[in-house]
Amino acid sequence: MPTPDLPVQTTHGDIDLSSRAFWAQSMEERDAAFAVLRRENPVPWSRPAESDLLPEDDNTRGFWSLTKHEDIRMASRHPEIFSSAGGITMEDFTPEMTEIAQSFIAMDAPRHTQLRGITMEAFKPKNMRRLEGWIRGHARDLVSEMASLGEGDFVKLVSIELPGRIFGSFFGLPPGEIHAKTIDAAQRLLSWPDPDVCGDQTGLELFAGSVLDLHETAAYLVPLRRDNPGDDLMTWLVQAEFEGEKMKDEEIAAFFVLLAVAANDTTRHASAQAIHAFSKYPEQRALLLEDVPGRVEGAVEEVLRWVYPLLHMRRTATRDITVRGSEIKAGDKVVLWYCSGNRDEEVFKDPFTFDILRSPNPHITFGGGGPHFCLGAALARTMLKALLTEVYTRIPDIRAPEPDFLVANFINGIKSLPATWTPERP
């Protein structure tokens, strides 16, 4: 029997992970709260998350939180106890919405293994090493386009554009309107808790609208690639077969939604947060500038630890299990807080210091290992390395001290990042 909704008002003391107000706080305030949880109550129970994704009467499920690095790794590596089926966010969606939007990230073996296998080859590190020069070329083009301006919103100029161009090319998206609409939808979808992004829509309307836009692109591309196969991932998807059966159109569309969002939004926020971090910690920027080629890979790892673009993933317990004294019941939701694991004092020396020379750096930004470990980790690392290299060799004095942060409990984002730099002379 799942844990009934216990009569708790907050997660612990005045910390309330379920409230939207908690996620509107600064990163420093949230990090400090997670430090208290790790110390005093590392596996706490929380009431149902405040949410407009379900009708109020249906939003009845509280959740457990794993805040320790070790526990997050343990849960990630035991999918037979911590299942991904049923959803991966602390807020619940209807099963129909999960099916059309989340694809294999919200599945367990054997179907998960089959679907993940289709594109796994494309994203392997050896392929990324092959593509490194091509990705670097895209980063160079973007920095060239902005270098003479001297000021602008880094998010619009670069953060959205780089993954957008790479993703468009991987999937064979035609340039122009379809490409722009697809990337825009992929960038909006995870912003449902932010009132500014939602405007006069509810969170659910924003989410569902983005999913439908992405399904429309898939509906255009699927028949196109069936009739005219190309050298792109959509062709792989329409041709993939399991025991003689091809994927249904709706399955391909959900797969496309997952990859579009996973590839675009995460990297966008990571690169914006990186530029902000180097503005906030100029001594770290100076360290990087002393030897960009020699230090950029360490800088990428520390940026990933520091900015944790995905705050959490959720699992559902398949059986009763006790973790650090907390009695998790079969059917309970369990949230893995990567943001907390990345600051765990038992794993990282001076975890609250941004230190690009940190070594070792066993961050869990791409997950804690196990079958769902980020498929695009090598691609994300390659994009960030290319971007930081181009930015800090071409416009090294770029400063962006005042971001407009996204209010969200799933993604650690930046909506806009006004930046200034000495313009490059033509």
Sole binder of ligand HEM in the list 208, 263, 275, 356 (CB under 6 A) = 263
Contact between 118 and 240 under an 8 Å Cβ cutoff? The reply is yes
From the list 160, 221, 375, 407, which residue makes contact with ligand HEM (rule: CB under 6 A)? 375
Query: 87, 98 in Cβ contact below 8 A?
Result: yes
Which of these ranges, 124-132, 242-250, 282-290, 365-373, lies near ligand HEM under the rule CB under 6 A? Answer: 365-373
- In angstroms, the first-to-last Cα distance of the chain is 68
Q: Using the rule CB under 6 A, which residue among 67, 159, 235, 267 binds ligand HEM?
A: 267
The long-range contacts involving 210-214, CB below 8 angstroms and separated by at least 24 positions, are 210/185, 210/186, 211/97, 211/100, 211/101, 211/185, 211/257, 213/181, 213/182, 213/184, 213/185, 214/182, 214/185, 214/186, 214/189, 214/253, 214/256, 214/257, 214/260, 214/261
- Decide: 190 and 408 in contact? Cβ < 8 Å: yes
Closest distance of CB 380 from ligand HEM, Å: 4
Q: Any contact of residue 258 with ligand HEM (CB under 6 A)?
A: yes
In angstroms, give the least distance from the CB of 202 to ligand HEM: 26
Among 134, 141, 373, 397, binds ligand HEM (CB under 6 A): 373
* Interaction of residue 164 with ligand HEM, rule CB under 6 A: no
Query: Residue 59 Cβ, how far from ligand HEM at the closest point, in Å?
Result: 23
Minimum distance, C-beta of residue 266 to ligand HEM, in the bound complex (Å): 3
- The reply on whether position 372 binds ligand HEM by CB under 6 A is yes
Nearer to ligand HEM, 263 or 395 (CB): 263
Distance in Å, CB of 370 to ligand HEM, minimum = 6
Q: Give the range of 224-232, 258-266, 342-350, 394-402 binding ligand HEM by CB under 6 A.
A: 258-266
Which parts of 103-142 interact with ligand HEM (CB under 6 A)?
104-105, 116, 123
Distance of CA 285 to the CA centre of its chain: 24
The residue (of 16 and 376) whose beta carbon lies closer to ligand HEM is 376
| Structure tokens belonging to residue 290 | 């002393």
Minimal distance, residue 304 CB to ligand HEM, in Å? 6
State the nearest-atom distance from the C-beta of 219 to ligand HEM, in Å. 21
Whether 225 contacts 234, CB under 8 Å: yes
Tokens of 77: 């590596």
Residue bearing tokens 């077969």: 241
Q: Given the structure tokens 């995870």, which residue do they identify?
A: 190
Residues 27-86 that bind ligand HEM (CB under 6 A): 76
DSSP state of 310: B
Q: What would the x/- binding string for ligand HEM be over residues 319 to 338, using CB under 6 A?
A: -------------------x
How far apart are alpha carbons 154 and 79 in whole angstroms? 39
Nearest 5°: phi and psi at 45? -100, 145
CB of 105 to ligand HEM, least distance (A): 4
Q: List, in order, residues 6 or more apart from 221 with CB less than 8 Å away.
A: 171, 172, 173, 234, 256
CB closer to ligand HEM out of 79 and 203 = 79
Stretch that binds ligand HEM, among 6-14, 31-39, 256-264, 350-358 (CB under 6 A): 256-264
CA distances from 209 to 194, 197, 250, 409 (A): 15, 13, 16, 20
Give the residue from 57, 156, 219 showing the smallest Cα distance to 404: 156
Instruction: Write out the binding residues for ligand HEM, residues 280-319 only, by CB under 6 A.
Output: 309-310, 313
DSSP β-bridge partners for residue 316: 83, 333
Choosing from 44, 48, 164, 376, the residue that interacts with ligand HEM (CB under 6 A) is: 376
What is the size of the binding site for ligand HEM (CB under 6 A)?
A: 27
Residue of this chain nearest to ligand HEM (CB atom)? 376
Q: Which residues pair with 152 in a beta bridge?
A: 419
Instruction: Give the interface with ligand HEM as residue ranges (CB under 6 A).
Output: 76, 104-105, 116, 123, 258-259, 262-263, 266-267, 270, 309-310, 313, 338, 365-367, 370, 372-376, 379-380
